Amino acid sequence: MKLFKLALILIATMSPLFSEAQNCAEQVDLHKKFIKPFQLNDMSKSAVCVSGSTYEFKIPLTKGREYRMQFYAAAVFNNKINFTIIDESTHETVLNLPGETYERKVGSCVLASWYDEDTEKEYTPYFDFYPPTSTTLKVIMEIPEAPQEKTSDGGVAPKKIDKGCVTIILYDKPAEGSW
C-alpha cells in the first residue's frame, strides 16, 4: 500500500512539470474561434514568456484587409500584463491597456473576460484594426516581476520566475469596399 501511495505521489508531483512544459504552439488551436466573416490568420502566434520581461511582436497589416486581435495569457501571470500597440508607420500608440481592470467595460482591458448581462454571453476582449494603407504594428507586452516570496524563517527566497504561454490570435477579412 505504501508503494501504491508513493506511486500516486510521484505522478501528482509530475503533473506541474507537464503543465509547465506545455507547448505554446497548441495554444492557437485552443483559442481560435470561428467568427464569420473573419478567418484565422496564420500569423497568430503563441510564445513562452517569463515574468520580468518585455516582449515585442511585429505584425505587418496589409491594405485591403481588416484585422481582429485577441490575446490570451497563462493563468500563472494573473492577467498582470500591460499591452501597448504602436503603429510603426505613424509612430502613434494606438492601444495601451492592462490585462485586467476592476471595470467591466468594453475597451478597458485586454485579457480578462466577463459575463455580459445585456447579451447574456461571456465577453472576451477583442480589438479591430483597419489599415487604409499597409503598416506594421508593434505589440509590446510587459510582464512584471513575479511577487517575491519569503522563506519559512522570514528570509528572502531565490528570485521567482513565472513562465507561461502568451497568445495572439489574429483574424482577418476583406475590408469593406475593397478589391
Partner 1 sequence: MKSLHKPFMWIAAFGMMLGFASCKSDPDPKKNDTGKITEITNDNLTFYLIPSPKDMFSFTSSNEIPFSTEVLNPAENADKYLDVQSQELGFGMYSADLAYTAAFFQTKEAKKYLKVVRGLSAQIGISSVFDEALVTRFDEMPDNKDSLIQVTNDTYFDIVKFLEENERKSSLALISTGGWLESLYIVVSLVKEYKENSDVIQLIADQKNIFENLLLYLEQHKSDPNINSVITELAPIKAIYDQLEVVKVERPKTPENSGKIIVGGTTKIVITAEQFKNLKETITKVRNKLSANNV
Q: How many CA atoms lie within 13 A of 111 on its CB side?
A: 20
Q: How many residues in the shown chain lie near partner 1 by CB under 8 A? A: 62
Q: Locate cell 514568456: which residue?
A: 49
When asked if residue 29 is in the footprint of partner 1 (CB under 8 A), the reply is yes
Question: Judged by CB under 8 A, which of 6, 96, 101, 105 binds partner 1?
Answer: 6
When asked if residue 87 is in the footprint of partner 1 (CB under 8 A), the reply is yes
- Identify residue 70 by its one-letter amino acid code: Q
- Give me the DSSP letters along 19-84: HHT--THHHHHHH----TT-EE-TT-EEEEEETTEEEEEEEEE-TTEEEEEEEEE-GGGTT--EEE
Neighbour count for residue 170 (Cβ, 10 Å): 23
When asked if residue 95 is in the footprint of partner 1 (CB under 8 A), the reply is yes
Phi/psi for 27 (5° steps) reads -65, -35
Distance in Å, CB of 155 to partner 1, minimum:
18
When asked if residue 30 is in the footprint of partner 1 (CB under 8 A), the reply is no
| Residue nearer to partner 1 on the CB measure, 44 or 111 | 44
When asked if residue 143 is in the footprint of partner 1 (CB under 8 A), the reply is no
Q: Which residues bind partner 1 (CB under 8 A)?
A: 3-4, 6-8, 10-11, 14, 17-18, 20-21, 23-26, 28-29, 39-43, 45, 47-48, 50, 53-66, 87, 89-90, 94-95, 127-137, 161, 163, 172, 174, 179
